[in-house]
Amino acid sequence: MNLFRDFQTKIVAALEGMVANGALPAGLDFSRVAVEPPRDPAHGDLATNAAMVLAKPAGQPPRTLAAALVPVLTALPDVVAVDIAGPGFINLRLAENFWHRRLAAAIGAGDVYGRSSLGNGRKVNVEYVSANPTGPMHVGHGRGAAFGDALANLLDAAGFDVTREYYVNDAGAQVDALARSVHLRYREALGETIGAIPEGLYPGEYLCAVGVALAARDGRKWLNQPEDAWLPSILAFAVDAMMALIRSDLAGIGIEHAVFTSERGLVERGSVDAALLLLEGRGLIYTGTLEPPKGDKPDDWEPRPQTLFRATQFGDDTDRPLKKSDGSWTYFATDIAYHLDKFSRGFAVMIDVWGADHGGYVKRMKAAVAALSDGKAGLEVKLCQMVNLMNKGEPVKMSKRAGTFVTLRDVVDEVGKDVVRFIMLTRKNDQHLDFDLAKVTEQSKDNPVFYVQYAHARHRSVLRQAAAEFPNADFSDAALGGAELSRLRDPDEMAILRTLAQWPRVVETAAETHEPHRIAFYLHDLAAAFHALWTRGKDETSLRFIIAGDVAATRARLALARGVGLVVAAGLRIFGVKPLEEMR
């Protein structure tokens, strides 16, 4: 489906033919021969660097080599012109008919247009969100959620076997603090006066309902009991409640993970011991004393021997501790067990989506995965930068006291899930993102969500109008695919056809680079081309999508609109955004 890939294959075959008949020396490496759209469409439809990358090994100047390639490339099907340009680029121009056939094929493929077999069914694990189960999701989590889910959809569209996963950090000091906080709210629910929430506990009012629910379930049995008696039970109850809250936040933006893995479960099953035993067997664990960190030194730093992982052998800057001073596992230790768990479930490709504040953790985790899998598995970490929540250009003060909203749910309630998801994907993951509540709901060109949705709604609108204009005509996709597309010849129309034909390549490139934002920019470009052509119809009635009294011409033009609608819908589907039928 990716025409650039198709032509790359054809061109390499042609080059091999030249080797066979002696026009090129044997033993050339064709892997660097690329076929891409030229930056400037005026140069042609396809450009290849073949002559330039082969010049040196073939012992010929690039332009001489290019000249020898021209007749061979001219002979390829659908090629109507071949030019040599600049240092030795070869530009190919394809027949108009080729682009018409691509549109017909796209309409024929329908919803699967752009899907790829690039991944060849390989298993990929995408772990994202993994917010601590101690409260509702905030806006920053929302970015990781939208990003991770779009990346998963993208990899799925590119032919990978994707598992969406959430790691539940339900062990450690944070959830102990959660349990204590809930116990307080529980006492409050049973009529006690609890006063101010102590430092170190979670003060959020969302825990009041959890306390009430606990009182309803267990009555007064945890009153006046030592912490040891109630902590495990209340912790489990509280974590369940928080995960229910988070799942509901996720459902609010249309996200559902297939697998939830519990940190506590890993610890209780002995997975951490097993993982560390594995590393120990490979001589990667030892007892040693670390240098104190430079810069901001901890007040209570005392050198002491601890259990360390030889992360430096795998590119990390220092070896990393696995046990805290109280003997319990560090977060890193349980995370090692978790990634071994993923590996043992058959994932050689793991992608973790983290917040940028975890950047310092990447090297050691990659080191651990390399060590655990003996180099057979790879971990890629995508760090999502911060989201600056704005309103009309002013930063939103994140003050709970002032009642300004900070939770993801509040933002979704304010602007809608589709807007949140799309805007979160309009920047590369490693760039800061301004999320302006006023701007994202504005109906203007300034708002990319609106602009792209408008293109889809316009295509629907014109199809409705056409059906009213020609009540007896068949404008089904089957009919549009068979339209007389040779009527589409205007340069702007041809430009849209070429853009539509690039869609499969866009999907593959975005999937390979793990960069969903490329889809957003492509959709914006496609929408712009469509809006521009639409407006030209004001002056040139022959460019309108509905041509009065001419069903055949209308059908051809509707096919173009349908192609745009189809691809916009496909792109929005990857983002988990519902295409709009009308803008009202």
Partner RNA sequence: GCGCCCUUAGCUCAGUUGGAUAGAGCAUCGGCCUUCUAAGCCGAGGGUCACUGGUUCGAGUCCAGUAGGGCGCGCCA
Around 542, how many Cα atoms within 13 Å sit in the side-chain half-sphere? 6
Residue 187 or 335 with smaller CB distance to RNA? 335
Minimum CB separation of residue 469 from RNA in Å reads 8
Q: Is 402 exposed, middle or buried (0-12, 13-18, 19+ CB in 10 A)?
A: exposed
Nearest-angstrom CA–CA distance, 461 and 581? 8
Query: Of the candidates 27, 360, 403, 491, which one interacts with RNA according to CB under 7 A?
Result: 360
Give 56 or 400: the residue with its C-beta nearer to RNA.
56
CB of 440 to RNA, least distance (A): 12
Distance CA 245, CA 153 (A): 24
Interface of this chain with RNA, residues 184 to 203, rule: CB under 7 A = none
Binds RNA by CB under 7 A, chosen from 362, 406, 467, 479: 362
Of 222 and 422, nearer to RNA (C-beta) is: 422
Interhelix angle 173-189/227-252, rounded to 10 degrees, is 100
Cβ-based neighbour number of residue 258 at 10 Å:
12
Please identify which residue in 60, 64, 132, 391 interacts with RNA, judged by CB under 7 A: 132
Per CB under 7 A, contacts with RNA among 392-431 are 427-428, 430-431
Task: Say if CB 519 and CB 506 are below 8 A apart.
Answer: yes
Residues 29-48 that bind RNA (CB under 7 A): 34, 36-40, 43-44, 47
Quote the least distance from Cβ 412 to RNA, whole Å: 20
Cα gap 119→137, rounded to integer Å: 32
Q: Which of 357, 341, 376 is nearest to 265 (CA)?
A: 341
Q: Which of 298, 403, 491, 549 binds RNA (CB under 7 A)?
A: 298
Quick check: 375 binds RNA (CB under 7 A)? no
Measured in whole angstroms, how far is the alpha carbon of residue 525 from the centre of its chain?
19
Using CB under 7 A, which residues numbered 260 to 289 contact RNA? 263
Residue 54 contacts RNA per CB under 7 A: no
Minimum gap (Å) between residue 3 Cβ and RNA = 12
- Check residue 338 for interaction with RNA (CB under 7 A): no
- Cα diameter, the chain: 93
Q: What is the DSSP string of 243-304?
A: HHHHHHHHHHTT---SEEEEHHHHHHTTHHHHHHHHHHHTT-EEEE-PPPPSSS--TT----
Q: Is 509 in the site for RNA (CB under 7 A)?
A: yes
- Residues in 555-584 that interact with RNA by CB under 7 A: 582-584
Cβ 215 to RNA shortest distance, Å: 27
Classify strands 433-436 and 387-391 as parallel, antiparallel or unpaired.
parallel
Residue choice 59, 86, 288, 395 for contact with RNA (CB under 7 A): 86
When asked if residue 462 is in the footprint of RNA (CB under 7 A), the reply is yes
Q: Which of these segments, 10-18, 239-247, 271-279, 360-368, binds RNA (CB under 7 A)?
A: 360-368
